Amino acid sequence: MRISLNWLRDYVDIDVSVEELAHQMTMLGLEIESVERLGDDIQNVLVGKILSIDAHPDADKIVVCQVDVAGEVPLQICCGAKNMKVGDKVPTAIVGATLPGDFKIGRRKMRGVESQGMMCAAQEIGLAEETDGLLILDEELPTGEDIKSVLGLDDIVLEIEVTPNRADWASMIGVARELSVLYGTELRVPEVSLVEQGEEIDSLCAVTVEDTALCPRYMGRVLTNVTVGPSPEWLCERLLAAGQRPINNIVDVTNFVLLETGQPLHAFDRDKLAENRIVVRTGKAGEAINTLDGETRKLSDDMLVIADGTIPQCVAGVMGGADSEVSEGTTTIFLESAFFAPASVRKTSRGLGLISESSQRFQRGADPEMAAYALDRAAELIQDLASAHVAQGVIDVYPTPLVPREVTLRYARTLRLLGVDVAPETQRDSLERLGFEIISHDDTEMKVRVPLRRHDVSMEADLIEEIARLYNFDNIPVSLPKVRPCEKVFAPDEKRIRAFRHFLVGLGLAELYNWSFSNPDEVQRAALPESYRKMIVLENPLSEKQATMRSSIIPALIGNAARNLNYGVTSIRAFELGPVYRPAEGDTLSTQHNRVSLVLAGDVEAAHWSRPARAADFYDLKGQVEAILAHFGATATFKESDGDTFQQGQRAEIKLGKKVIGTMGRVASAVGRAFDTDQPVYVAELDLDALLAQQPSPAQFQSVPTFPPSARDLAVVVDASVPSGELREKAAQSGGKLLRSVEIFDIFEGEQVGAGKKSVALNLVFQSDERTLTEKDTQKAFDKVLKRLKHEYQAELR
Amino acid sequence: MKEQLEAFQAAALDTIAQADTLSALEEARVKYLGRKGAITEILRGLGKVSAEERPAMGQLANVVKGAIGSALDDRKVELSATADAAREESEAVDLSLPGRRPQRGHIHMVNQVTEEIIDIFAGLGFQVAVGPDIETEFYNFDSLNTPADHPARDSHDTFFVKPGVVLRTHTSPVQMRVMEQVQPPVAVLAPGRVYRVDYDASHSPMFNQIEGLLVDEGVTFADLKGTLMHFVHHLFGKNTKVRFRPHFFPFTEPSAEMDISCTVCSGKGCRLCKNSGWLEALGCGMVHPEVFKHANYDYEKYSGFAFGLGIDRIAMLRHAVPSINHLYDNDLRFLEQF
């Protein structure tokens, strides 16, 4: 809400600087979004008096005026307007002036005649709407005076955020009340003096409230002899400062009073109400209404409407109808001031997708007592500004007046909750100043009656908050709590996940962070198996591209790789640790699983002056996966897999025992193209929950060798189809306990070993815990290995 | 024999001095002092020397042997130094050439900040708790004193999965999930992904929050202030100013927002802080009695505070990132800066 300082001063004295005021309001809970100095964009615009108006020698539509701005000599200004006469006072922008929109005024020639400034129309100095011609000022205004002080354009507007609990703050009086409490000064609520005359209201309009649950209070007045016309300058100024557009004196008064009191009002053209009746009822099936914003809206039977004898004329508390709108020809007005049930207004407003100043206030809870004041205040203003007659009497349907809540506060609880000892007298005084009525009090507690405007206060803690606000949060002391240990560990895996993240970063990988949403088609594009296509679908996604919750991180990572490659990134080594989602069967929510996914593309080793760059391949990915498995102490196997996500011959599923815990491979070319890349991309995804479940026991000590190792190389020729890793396994199993390790150090295929054959070179390391090995020992073990490989694979020593 | 020894010594020392490689020196050692070397020959002749002369000759022989030995050692040191120098010269590197630097990994900015925040609170005795991203309306709203018709729901533009099931709009539901499991004392920190239907330069439909909750006997608003000031001073530095101002959240009473002095202008006023000198850092307050009711906690016995902060915003402030969208763009040119 926009709070004009000039306006606010009508209700409360403010003796502090704007900065200080903004701070004070902030510390009361009135958050300041911005401070706007209205006149800031208007400089050097003065009150000018037109001394003469002469024809332009070369232009029909331009006149040449001499304008006195109390300078040494009058200014010569060319002007295209027609509504001024000699002697008029007008806003005059002199050379060097600035107008809103950063429009700078310079000396210029118009058709050969010098013009030393510009006379302004209202809209040119940020005033009202489009008007024809110059703004003619009051002739009493002193010539040469700055237009900003004359027209109140020197105002400062504080934009405040009103929290949803404080409907009472959404008004000038509400804000002023808070400041008057802070300052201990008087709140000036304007006194209303209206003169009832002419007919009795009952003869002009009949009101029936059918649903008093949704409309606990309904008030109305009728005004006759209304003259609809433009509002006076002071009213326009107030509305403009509040960010509202002046329309006509009737609408402007209802808007003004809404801003002043927080009570939404509505003015009906009584002559448009069938049977001169107001019926407050719920909508009927099939009913619709043309609202003021030009839309036709369907009503339902849970929406409260203000109807006439036949059709709805207003969506109660939300927006009026176009049919009974006040227009130029309106002469009789029915003015409504009501209290509608907050929940009902909120529901209707949401149901129609229609939010208004009125609905926002009603849904937070208006003040049923303010309804009466606001009605009279508006009637008075219309009486004065539209020379209207206020009909005799007021309609007030309030069958069950709202009963103020009574709340007890134990003084000791204030200390318990705030950690500061506020004296009981101070506690009572704070609440009294805020308008709470002390019903009773003794040494330990007090009982207060809560003003009806305070929908947010219903319990002791609410009162303590009020005391704390006035005490000022800044003055509450600072202490550190003694945190006692909790009996339960809530997320035992979190530390391990963090350690794992650091481990992955230690492998040189960068961490990615994708949205949990996914494009429903990306699972297909990545050719993931059917099981991934069962996804959680959002009812109201941001767009179709984020309509599902991801079932795998793989598509996102392929997409990330493709985009980065297309940006020209040459090396992509990255991972994501995060959740994937699956719809659950039955009533359960859904299931959420942690995954770790890797992506490699481009160079794994950058080019260096000492060696060329090396592009990523399958074994880089496998090495990373192996490192991950080792990190968790997991022994997994890699089995050739199928499916179209990965390229044939470079794809594997990763199994822990019989359970598949992951998938990996080189992304198939077709999939890569579907993600906009034709470069090789390698991706793996593992079930992090399964890895975390491995829970390796602490490693146990093994004696450190004291005798030297002895190494032998063994190269054998076998069929090219023999899996080399398996051969290595067999070798390792067959060397007896002296054989400590077997590593493959070369694979060779070529003419020398014959077609369909390959040479596998192994490095065998032998070692004993008891003695230094002899040539004879190692030869014996070596022979055993060779014999086994000959037997298993018809291997020949090379 | 004396002459023989002296001549021998002279010849040996000369040979040693002449030796200009380590191998030549080794040859000299073998020649003169080796088991089959010249000295052995000479000493074999000691038997022919008279008994009176024998001790003196023996002594002299040892002196000669010692002199040759030390000459060999000295020369070896000299030659080694020369050889080393030559090798080192030939192996000199070009210091200006870049080294082989291992590619370094990068923790995502959001997790860097999350970990740091967790560590600060862990030091005070808080532990991590987690909850699901896909939540029931009960945990996300109702149990947090935000019933269906509550206007506070308007500020949470919620993604719906189906009626009653939402993507959590904040990490606060973890509060309730934790409180349901244990009676106080409880002190947890719940980081995680949260979702709102909002997307522009300063809003991402998915972002990250951390929720904090402490409930025990005698926990006060003063404790809340102290805890959060401790946090700010550790994360942003001792000189950061903090202010608490009244605010509204349905699940706390009293409620506050905490501002910190602007990280760019230190409170003087700039564009980032809209000239106020302050930046909104987090929302907090004393846990609402209605929330305790849902958790089956005794409000007469216990009190507690809760807070929730946007990790992304803090990360952006710390690293001067202009738009939240950089965080989830997965552009390595961005990620590898941090």
pLDDT, tens only, A714-747: 999 999 999 999 999 999 999 899 999 999 999 9
- Cα radius of gyration rounded to whole Å, chain A: 42
B225 min Cα distance to partner chain A (Å): 6
Chain A residue with Cα closest to B103: A508
Among chain B residues, CA nearest to A512: B330
Nearest CA in chain B to A606: B103
CA–CA distance, A427 with A422 (Å, rounded to integer): 7
Considering only residues 114 to 153 of chain B, which have any Cβ-Cβ distance to chain A shorter than 8 Å?
115, 124-130, 132-136, 149-152
3-state secondary structure of A77: strand
By the CB < 8 Å criterion, does B47 face chain A? no
| Distance, CA of A556 to CA of A671 (rounded, Å) | 12
Task: Note which residues in 54-73 of chain B have CB less than 8 A from chain A.
Answer: none
Using alpha carbons, select from A337, A268, A338, A348 the residue that is nearest to residue A304: A348
- Sheet with B186-195, side-by-side order of all strands: B127-128, B186-195, B206-216, B303-310, B278-287, B252-261, B242-249
Write the DSSP assignment of B203-221 as a string of letters.
Answer: B-SEEEEEEEEEEETT--H
Q: Which residues pair with A660 in a beta bridge?
A: A655
Q: Are B283 and B248 in contact (CB under 8 A)?
A: no
Query: Tokens 């929908």 belong to which residue?
Result: A455
Q: Does B93 touch chain A (CB under 8 A)?
A: no
Contacts of B292 (CB under 8 A, 6+ apart): B298, B299, B302, B304
Nearest CA in chain A to B280: A31
Q: Is the pLDDT of residue A406 over 90?
A: yes
pLDDT of A587 > 70? The answer is no
**CA A134: distance to chain centroid?**
43
Average pLDDT over all residues of chain A: 93
**Is the pLDDT confidence value at A241 over 60?**
yes
Q: Is B180 on the interface with A (CB under 8 A)?
A: no
CA–CA distance, A469 with A462 (Å, rounded to integer) = 11
Min Cα–Cα distance to chain B from A490, Å: 5
* pLDDT number for residue B11: 86
User: Is B160 close to A538, i.e. CB distance below 8 A?
Assistant: yes
**B107: nearest CB among A485, A511, A609:** A511
Q: Are strands A389-392 and A265-269 parallel, antiparallel or unpaired?
A: unpaired
- Among candidate residues A259, A150, A270, A183, the one with its CA nearest the CA of residue A221: A270
Contact A76, A65 (CB under 8 A): yes
Residue B12's pLDDT is 86
Q: How far is A158 from chain B (nearest CA, A)?
A: 12
Concatenating the DSSP letter of every residue in A10-67 gives TTS---S-HHHHHHHHHHHT-EEEEEEEGGGG-EEEEEEEEEEEEE-SS-SS-EEEEE
Instruction: Write down the pLDDT at residue A204.
Output: 93
Using a CB-CB distance cutoff of 8 angstroms, which residues of chain A are in contact with residue B335?
510-512, 574
The Cβ of residue B216 has, within 10 Å, a number of other Cβ atoms equal to 19
* Contact indicator for B134, A536 with CB cutoff of 8 Å: yes
In this prediction, residue A154 carries a pLDDT of 80
- Strands, E, within A102-155: which ranges? 103-104, 108-110, 113-115, 117-119
Number of A/B CB contacts below 8 angstroms equals 263
Pairwise CB contact (< 8 Å): B246 & A32: no
Tell if the CB–CB gap between A514 and B330 is shorter than 8 Å.
Answer: yes
A28–B246: do the CB atoms touch at under 8 Å?
yes
Structure tokens that stand for B315 in this block: 């990360």
How many Å apart are CA B272 and CA B276, to the nearest integer?
9
Residue B95 at interface with chain A, using a CB cutoff of 8 Å: no
Contact list, A573 vs chain B (CB under 8 Å) = 103, 105
- Structural contact between residues A599 and A560, judged by C-beta atoms closer than 8 angstroms: yes
Q: Which residues of B touch A507 (CB under 8 A)?
A: 105
Closest Cα of chain A to B136: distance in Å? 7
Q: Which chain B residues are Cβ-neighbours of A551 within 8 angstroms?
A: none
CATH superfamily for B109-335 is Bira Bifunctional Protein; Domain 2 (3.30.930.10)
Rounded Cα–Cα distance for residues A259 and A1 (Å): 9
Name chain A contacts of B286, Cβ cutoff 8 Å. Answer: 417, 461
Select the residue of A346, A462, A517 nearest B149 (Cβ to Cβ). Answer: A346
Q: Is A468 helix (H, G, I), strand (E, B) or coil?
A: helix
Inter-chain CB proximity A536 and B327 less than 8 Å: no
Per-residue pLDDT, A480:
95
The 3-state DSSP class for residue A517 equals strand
Provide DSSP, A718-745: EETTS-HHHHHHHHHHHS-TTEEEEEEE
Distance CA A550, CA A514 (A): 10
Give the chain B residue whose CA is nearest to the CA of A359: B151
Mutate to test the interface with B, among A23, A407, A417, A576 (most CBs of B within 10 A): A417
Tens digit of pLDDT per residue, chain B (338 long)? 778 888 888 888 888 888 888 888 888 888 888 877 777 777 777 777 788 888 888 888 888 888 888 989 999 999 999 989 999 999 999 999 999 988 899 999 999 999 999 999 999 999 999 999 999 999 999 999 998 877 777 767 899 998 889 999 999 999 999 999 999 999 999 999 999 998 988 889 999 999 999 999 999 999 999 999 999 999 999 999 999 999 999 999 999 999 999 888 888 888 888 888 899 999 999 999 999 999 999 999 999 999 999 999 999 988 989 899 999 999 999 999 99
Q: Indicate if the pLDDT at residue A276 is higher than 70.
A: yes
Cβ contact A303:A317 at 8 Å: no
Measured between CA atoms, the residue of chain A closest to residue B269 is: A19
Record: contact A489-B127, CB cut-off 8 A: yes
pLDDT of residue A588: 66
Specify the pairing of strand A206-209 against strand A277-282.
parallel
Token readout for B160 is 């719906």
CA distance A487 to chain B (A): 7
Token pair belonging to A180: 């008057």
A784 pLDDT above the threshold of 70: yes
Cα A611 off chain centre by: 51
Long-range contacts (CB closer than 8 Å, 24 or more residues apart) made by A249-255: A249/A382, A249/A385, A249/A386, A250/A226, A250/A326, A250/A330, A250/A333, A250/A382, A250/A386, A251/A326, A253/A378, A253/A381, A253/A382, A253/A385, A253/A386, A254/A335, A254/A378, A255/A357
Contact B189, B214 (CB under 8 A): no
DSSP line for B45-86: GGGGS-TTHHHHHHHHHHHHHHHHHHHHHHHHHHHHHHHHHH
Picking from A419, A480, A609, the nearest residue to B97 by CB comes out as A609
User: Confidence band (pLDDT; 50, 70, 90) for A52?
Assistant: very high
Rounded Cα–Cα distance for residues A696 and A634 (Å): 8
- Quote the DSSP letter at residue A458: -
Interface touch B125/A483, C-beta < 8 Å:
yes
Alpha-carbon gap: B314 to the closest alpha carbon of chain A (Å) = 17
Residue A79 carries which side chain, given as an amino acid letter? Answer: C
For β-strands B127-128 and B186-195, DSSP reports them as parallel
Q: B-chain residues within 8 Å CB-CB of A537?
A: 161
Q: Does residue A322 surpass a pLDDT of 90? A: yes
Question: By C-alpha distance, which of B246, B281, B247 is closest to B262?
Answer: B281
pLDDT score, position A377:
97
Distance (Å) of CA B294 to CA B130, B142, B179: 19, 9, 9
Which residues from chain B sit within 8 angstroms of residue A562, using beta carbons?
Answer: none
Min CA distance, A507 vs chain B (Å)? 7
Answer whether B231 touches A (CB < 8 Å): no
Residue A250's pLDDT is 96
Q: Average pLDDT, stretch A210-223?
A: 96
Q: Does residue A129 surpass a pLDDT of 60? A: no
Contact B175, B126 (CB under 8 A): no
Report whether the peptide linkage leading into residue B254 is cis, meaning its omega lies within 30 degrees of zero.
yes
Inter-chain residue contact B129 with A490, CB threshold 8 Å? yes
DSSP assignment of A616-655 equals: --HHHHHHHHHHHHHHTT---EEEE--SSSEEEEEEEEEE
The answer to whether residue B243 neighbours chain A at the CB level (below 8 Å) is yes
Whether B199 contacts chain A with CB within 8 A = yes
Q: How far is CA A137 from the centre of its chain?
A: 45
**SS3 category, A89:** strand
* Token digits of residue B101: 């630097």
User: Domain extents for chain B?
Assistant: 2-90, 109-335
A473, A537, A580: best mutation site toward chain B, by most B Cβ within 10 Å?
A473
pLDDT value of position A310: 92
- Residue A374 structure tokens: 């606001």
So what's the pLDDT on residue A445?
A: 96
Is 70 exceeded by the pLDDT of residue A560? yes
Tell which residue, A5, A11, A357, has the closest CA to residue A173. A11
CB contact under 8 A, B130 and A165: no
Q: What is the dihedral of CA B289, B290, B296, B297, to 10 degrees?
A: -10
Largest CA distance in chain A: 131
